[in-house]
Chain A
Amino acid sequence: MLLEPSDRSPNLPPETADKPLMVWVKGFAQADAGPGDEVTVETMTGRLVTGRLSAVNPGYFHTFGQPIPELVRVGRDLRVRLAEWRARDSAEAGGAR
């Protein structure tokens, strides 16, 4: 935790002002520690930062997720539209546009 709610910047919206400002950094632990223990880590730039251990070797699990039903037809529909318009346009104007 970086700031208690009482220490936060003035003029914050209430839903932010009543929360602490939290910070997470990753680094190499300087001693054995378990979840929730105080631990000092050495970061990638060599800083020593002390805090509570929240995760060991946290990963990234963000994805694309499922296709969006409202978007899956966009490609098919637009290609059909484009082909129809081009056929009409060249028939009408001999492609003079």
Chain B
Amino acid sequence: MSGRFDELMARRGEIMKRALGMDYAAFEQSPIAFDYEGMMTAHGYSLDQIAAIQTKAGVGNTPLLELRNMTDLVRSYSAPGHGARIFVKDEAANMAGSFKDRRASMSIHVAKEKSYAGVVSATSGNYGAAVASQAARYGLNCIIVQETFDSRHVGQPEIIEKSRICEAFGAEVVQLTVGPELFSHMLELLDETGYFAASLYSSFGVSGIETLGAEVAREMTELTGAPPTHCVITHAGGGNTTGTARGLKRAGATETEIVSASVDLSGLHMASDADFNRKSFTTGHTGFGVPFATWPDRADVPRNAARSLRYMDRYLTVTQGEVFYVTEALAKLEGLERGPAGSTAMAAAMSLARDLPSDATVVVQETEYTGAGKHHWAQLNFARENGVEVRAGDPAESVPGEAIVIPERPEQIRAKDFDMGKMRRSYVRNALSHAAEGYVPTGDDIEFLAEDTNSAPAFVEETIAQLRKA
């Protein structure tokens, strides 16, 4: 890389420390372990205080809806006595149209408290809209850095819409072509402006999602007499899974099974200029979901607050065609026209509910706004224009980037279980490879790795022994 970016990356720690207003070094315990709970609670806000900040910011307390038609549709092809009740938390009702408002409201509140003049965030997704909206309310300047175009200056309609909405809220939108250097440019902007880094992965942002889990636990108890048996969460960088699961647990829903769900985009390279516009999902997919679960600290903060393996009981993948089909079905059967990425968990939930007894309760904990560009029709038309085949058939025949196969019948929707053991082993390997060469993990490190992967010390030790042999 050029000297300018080398120099910036060398100063990364110093720039981020100033821009986050928080010294992560205080939580480090060893080359592997750190005090996760200490980091998560260092901001000092209780769950009630977070809820109060969000209520003032116009965020949260979204409707929880039972989807009786979707439930009966699933029951129409389930085995007798099967077909769980399906519910959805309509997060599109937040100010900027998604659960990301919960994250942004906390980040922006902290930025204002700490007297920053503005905020910078690198995001091509709903988080940009949320940050821009909250920054507008708090009177802060806002720069959103987006990976928008391929080298032909062509962008996905969904991302173009995100540029528009950020500008609608008064943000400066910096649009880039494909590449990981987006991060260096964000550092450059933070350095130039002195603004706050409204990272998706700070403890402020992820704590902001805990209210969502707590609302689900409380509202389900009011509605059905108990917290949900299952909560299905669209998974990308891990914040949604982490924050929701933490909130559920804090509200006493310790038995709820946490099911993360992503769109399968295996085989497409996230830094590829050619693959960029052959993806019909810009988030909620395995291209983020797997790397962030297996190495969360790849994020733009020294330690990622979103550590999904700690909380995930199952990880389901669905195809793009299945999600588009379910997005259409949700509009036609439930009168809920919502954005496709937010329906990822809905597709997984339909598959999951089919295999559960009819007294089980499955909550899909988000929806997102929809509109021109950010709509399943727009994404499918764009896919066709970019040489991706779109056809009706068996979604099992989908090939990411080549063919989107839209189910002909709802029983063709079958989520696949991703191997959790493989992800946990991959995480342990990554944690070891990021420590200095020859570093021998201590007993405390083994404990930390077991907690961070929701496994047991024996599993971690066995994984380390296998890695040594290899």
Are A78's CB and B332's CB within 8 A? yes
Which A49-97 residues have C-beta < 8 A from chain B?
60, 62-68, 70-71, 74-76, 78-79, 81-82, 85-86, 89, 97
Bound Cα distance from A1 to B333, whole angstroms: 48
- Given contacts A23-B185, A25-B174, A71-B377, is CB(A64)–CB(B406) below 8 Å? no
Within 8 Å CB of A33, what residues of B? none
Are A85's CB and B160's CB within 8 A? no
- Given contacts A16-B272, A25-B174, A66-B381, is CB(A8)–CB(B1) below 8 Å? yes
Are A16's CB and B271's CB within 8 A? yes
Within 8 Å CB of A74, what residues of B? 325, 328-329, 332
Within 8 Å CB of B274, what residues of A? 13, 15
Bound Cα distance from A2 to B410, whole angstroms: 47
Bound Cα distance from A94 to B296, whole angstroms: 52
Determine how close the nearest CB of chain B comes to the CB of A17; give it in whole angstroms: 9
Bound Cα distance from A90 to B353, whole angstroms: 21
Bound Cα distance from A32 to B312, whole angstroms: 56
- Given contacts A47-B172, A63-B372, is CB(A70)–CB(B177) below 8 Å? no
Cβ-defined partner of A82 (8 Å) among B76, B177, B180: B76
Count of A-B contacts with CB under 8 A? 164
Bound Cα distance from A24 to B329, whole angstroms: 38
Are B175's CB and A9's CB within 8 A? no
Bound Cα distance from A18 to B375, whole angstroms: 32
Q: Which residue of B lies closest to A69 (CB)?
A: B392
B72 within 8 A of A: yes
Within 8 Å CB of B392, what residues of A? 70
Q: Which residue of A lies closest to B176 (CB)?
A: A23
B173 within 8 A of A: yes
- Given contacts A21-B177, A22-B177, A47-B192, is CB(A64)–CB(B172) below 8 Å? no
Within 8 Å CB of B380, what residues of A? 65, 68, 71
Are B390's CB and A68's CB within 8 A? yes
Which B121-163 residues have C-beta < 8 A from chain A?
141-143, 148-149, 151, 153, 157, 160-161, 163
Q: A12-B271, A13-B271 are in contact. List 19 more A-B contacts (CB 8 A).
A: A3-B181, A12-B179, A13-B274, A15-B272, A22-B151, A25-B174, A44-B167, A62-B372, A63-B378, A64-B375, A64-B378, A65-B380, A66-B381, A67-B377, A68-B376, A71-B328, A74-B325, A81-B73, A85-B73
Chain B residues within 8 Å of A, Cβ to Cβ: 1-2, 5, 69, 72-73, 75-76, 81, 118, 141-143, 148-149, 151, 153, 157, 160-161, 163-164, 167, 170-181, 184-185, 192-193, 269, 271-274, 324-325, 328-329, 331-333, 358, 372-373, 375-378, 380-382, 390-392, 406, 410
